[in-house]
Amino acid sequence: MFNKWIEGLNRTRKVAFGRLATLFGATDISAETWDELEAILIQADLGVETTESILAVLQDLVNREGLTHTDELQSSLRAELIRRLDAAPAVDFDSHKPTIVLVVGVNGSGKTTTIAKLGRQYAMQGKKVLLAAADTYRAAAVDQLQVWGERLNIPVIAGQPEGDPGAVAFDAVQAALSRKMDIVLIDTAGRLHTRYNLMEELKKVYRVVGKALPGAPHATWLVLDATTGQNALQQARAFKETAQVSGVILAKLDSSAKGGMAFAIQKELGLPILYAGLGERPEDLQPFDREAFVDGILGLKN
């Protein structure tokens, strides 16, 4: 399992953290050490504030413990990075039946493919899964989810092209109730966070689901494209306000050199990262493991 994280985080590690091996040699800690470490962390997309905060903690540690060599910093950096990520909460599908999950994100984030991968995982756990193709404005998204459904033998509720996404979501919840399904994953249209009318429509879908089943949706997960780095934060803030996002899925982490954005998401949004996409295969969507993530970007093996 650790190899999957090492392989999936290869680009972030090589592009952003690759210089750490040289930095953490047997040389003395100097002003140049801190300048280099600052550049590495910012390049990895941790953000300026998070980077400065980490440096302050490490510098305080060096002063208190009298550390003099750079190789003594490695374990301290690892511990500080892990501390800044929340452990992913367990995904609970037993409190509600069916559990309704709204999946949101912008076009191109990998949202529809992620939904299919989640559906496969839950079905393999013995759950009865239903997918809802409520991205009615993009015919390709509906087709894509239906193809996945056929391939995985998971039922899909879809509406007419350019139809009312709220109606599809409502029908999916009703179908799940009548068929006694365990989980409903609703694929919503890929909203641009700058388009007010589309974000308002997402609010409507959220309300309609609540009318179909009081208390639903029970979770709203935001799929973010890890290759966009810090730019994804603005999207995330808008979705958090609009759809009460409760967790984040980092898609395409294997294609990104900006894996450090995970730390910015935690600091800026306070949202847990639930899953990470470490490759193209369905099994490459992994529950987020903060220790494996940090060891993966640092290239450490425990």
On whether 210 is known to bind a ligand per the annotation, the reply is no
On whether 109 is known to bind a ligand per the annotation, the reply is yes
On whether 110 is known to bind a ligand per the annotation, the reply is yes
**Long-range contacts made by residues 174-177, C-beta under 8 angstroms, separation at least 24?**
174/212, 175/130, 176/98, 176/100, 176/130, 177/98, 177/213
- DSSP H helices in the chain: 2-8, 10-15, 20-23, 31-43, 48-65, 74-83, 111-124, 139-152, 165-179, 196-212, 231-243, 261-269, 290-298
On whether 228 is known to bind a ligand per the annotation, the reply is no
Burial class (CB in 10 A: 0-12, 13-18, 19+), 230: middle
**What are the backbone angles phi and psi of residue 137, rounded to the nearest 5°?**
-85, -10
Residues near 98 by beta carbon (within 8 Å), at least 6 away in sequence = 130, 173, 176, 177, 180, 181, 182, 183, 184, 213
On whether 18 is known to bind a ligand per the annotation, the reply is no
On whether 189 is known to bind a ligand per the annotation, the reply is yes
On whether 191 is known to bind a ligand per the annotation, the reply is yes
CA distance linking residue 21 with residue 298, whole number of Å: 9
**231's tokens:** 């730019």
CA distance linking residue 14 with residue 80, whole number of Å: 20
Q: To which residue do tokens 């309704």 refer?
A: 100
**132's tokens:** 């809802």
On whether 11 is known to bind a ligand per the annotation, the reply is no
On whether 108 is known to bind a ligand per the annotation, the reply is yes
On whether 106 is known to bind a ligand per the annotation, the reply is yes
On whether 188 is known to bind a ligand per the annotation, the reply is yes
Binding-site residues for GTP, in ranges, read: 105-112, 187-191
Binding-site residues, in ranges, read: 105-112, 187-191
